[in-house]
Amino acid sequence: MSFTKMLAVLISLAAAATPWSAVAEQTGLVTLKTADASRDWQAVGKLMLGTRGFCTGTLIEPRLVLTAAHCLFDRETGARLDVGEIQFLAGWRLGRAAAYRGVRRALPHPDYVYGGGDLVARVGVDIALLELDQPIRNTAIPPFDTDLSPAPGDRIGVVSYAQDRAEAPSLQETCDVLAVRPDVLVLSCSVDFGASGAPVFSVRDGVTRVISVVSAKAEIEGRKVSLAVPMQKPLAELRAAFDAGQGQIGKPLSGVRMLSSGGDGRPRFPKP
């Protein structure tokens, strides 16, 4: 079965459990342009990839950022990006960040192969950890905890940057889990080029946690969907490899550079 047909089947099965009327009630994207609006989302940042574009990343520990694995590769050559060129701009909004950090070490999931294998299999391990050159210990930028993967019908949200909203994050407070497989989540969340690595959130008992990472956008029978990583097992495997010392080490930066979205600004986001 082709990738598109498989997703169409997943959507059809999900529709039986999740009424489309409920899906239609999802909220739209809201740009977080003010300090008040963005206050709770400072740990989500713009991940600058030298002059090659940007992704979205999330602080999950004072020194660890979670993003998509494909963000670490040059989309034209397939080669790994130089770690020293990557910077994390926490809470980037209208030309300023709440914190600026370089990256000391970067590790994609051990099973991730850029441009190789089954598209669905790649989505299932499309996560990476970045070790910052200095921890972020600002009380205004608390890291997000991670949690279990969602179930079909769960209401979730996404915070992301994208090509037409690169200067401030956007929040979709409510979207839906359309289908769950061991190797891919199909979501109704609105994403675009640049949202690779964006955190998918759930709120349980009043606590916001990261439950997935956006991998790609897709279109099924005219309906736009997003594909995300069912993170529980892949993240545990990635953490184990990271704790074992794996990952590409970059040269330490001589100083922090203030960045805008200059250069070509090309966002990173494959489309299946």
96 inside domain: yes
Q: Which residues of the chain have pLDDT under 50?
A: 1, 3, 9-24, 253-267, 269-272
Domain extent, residue 89, equals 3-249
254 inside domain: no
What is the pLDDT at residue 265?
Answer: 41
Q: Report DSSP letters for the chain, one per residue.
A: --HHHHHHHHHHHHHHHS-HHHHHT---EEE--SHHHHGGGTTEEEEEETTS-EEEEEEEETTEEEE-GGGGB-TTT-PBPPGGGEEEEET-BTTB-SEEEEEEEEEE-TT--TT-S-HHHHHHT--EEEEESS----TTSPPPEE-PPP-TT-EEEEEEEETTEEEEEEEEEEEEEEEEETTEEEE-----TT-TTPEEEEEETTEEEEEEEEEEEEEETTEEEEEE---HHHHHHHHHHHHTT-SEEPPPPSSPPP--S-TT--B-----
Question: Is the distance from CB of 132 to CB of 88 less than 8 angstroms?
Answer: yes
Q: What are phi and psi for residue 89, nearest 5 degrees?
A: -110, 90
What is the total count of domains within the chain?
A: 1
Angstrom distances, CA of residue 52 to CA of 66, 82, 194, 264, 266: 19, 11, 11, 7, 6
269 inside domain: no
Question: Is the distance from CB of 30 to CB of 170 less than 8 angstroms?
Answer: yes
CATH of the domain at 88: 2.40.10.10
182 inside domain: yes
261 inside domain: no
What is the pLDDT at residue 154?
Answer: 81
What is the pLDDT at residue 52?
Answer: 79
- Output the pTM of the full model: 0.84
169 inside domain: yes
265 inside domain: no
264 inside domain: no
pLDDT in tens, 184-213: 999 998 887 768 999 999 988 788 999 999
